[in-house]
Chain A
Amino acid sequence: MLSWKPFALSVAVLLILFPFVYLVLLSLSSEWRFPDLLPSYFGLKNWATILGSEAGLLESFVSSLLISLSVAIVSTTSGFLISRAVFYHPKKNTLTLLAYFPYILAPVVFAACLSFFFLKMGLFGNITGVIVAQFIIAFPYALLFFSSFWNKKIKSYEDLVATLGGNRWQTFIKVLFPLAKGLILICFFQTFLISWFEYGLTSIIGIGKVQTLTIKVFLFIKEANYYYGALSCCLLIFPPVVLLYLNKRYVFKKLV
Chain B
Amino acid sequence: MKNKRLNFGIILFIAIGVVPFVAAFIYALLYSFGVIGVANKGFTTEFWTSVLASGEFFTSFLYSFLIALVAVAVSVGGALWVTLKFRKRLEQKFLSFIIYLPLAVPGIVTGFFTFQLFSKGGFFARLSYQLGWITEASQFPDLVNDALAFGILLSFITMIMPFFVLLFLNVYKNERIEELSILAQSLGANAKQVTQRISLPILIKKTRVLIVLYFIFLLGAYEVPLILGRESPQMLSVLIIREIKQYDLDKISEGYVVAVMYTLIVSAAAIVLFFPRKGRMYEH
Binding site for B on A (CB under 8 A): 5-6, 8-9, 13, 16-17, 19-20, 22-23, 26, 33-37, 78, 81-82, 84-86, 88-89, 93-102, 104-110, 112-114, 116-117, 135-136, 139-141, 143-145, 147, 168, 196-197, 199-200, 204, 214, 217-218, 221, 226, 229-230, 233, 236-237, 240-241, 243-245, 248
Contact = CB atoms under 8 A, between A and B. Distances in A.
A53 B139 CA distance: 40
Contacts of A33: 121
B256 A217 contact: no
Contact of B275 (A78, A97, A105): A97
B116 A20 contact: no
A108 B123 contact: no
A71 to B, nearest CB: 13
Given A81-B9, A200-B237, 5 more contacts: A16-B98, A104-B213, A105-B263, A139-B16, A218-B108
Q: Across the A-B interface, give the 3 residue pairs with the lowest CB-CB distance, nearest first.
A: A85-B9, A106-B220, A93-B276
Given A117-B23, A241-B101, A244-B100, A82 B241 contact: no
B169 to A, nearest CB: 13
B205 interface: no
B106 A214 contact: yes
A103 B255 CA distance: 21
B106 A109 contact: no
A233 B114 CA distance: 13
B103 A95 contact: no
Contact of B116 (A26, A82, A99, A140): A26
B237 A140 contact: no
What secondary structure prevails in chain A residues at the interface with B?
A: helix
B24 A97 contact: no
A65 to B, nearest CB: 15
Nearest to A201: B222
A34 B128 CA distance: 11
B130 A35 contact: yes
B61 to A, nearest CB: 13
Q: Which of B7, B221, B259 has the most CB of A within 10 A?
A: B259
B105 A104 contact: no
A240 B104 contact: yes
Nearest to A26: B116
Contacts of A237: 104-106, 109
B107 A101 contact: no
Contacts of B256: 113
B25 interface: yes
Interface string B83-113: 0011001000001111111111111111011
B112 A221 contact: yes
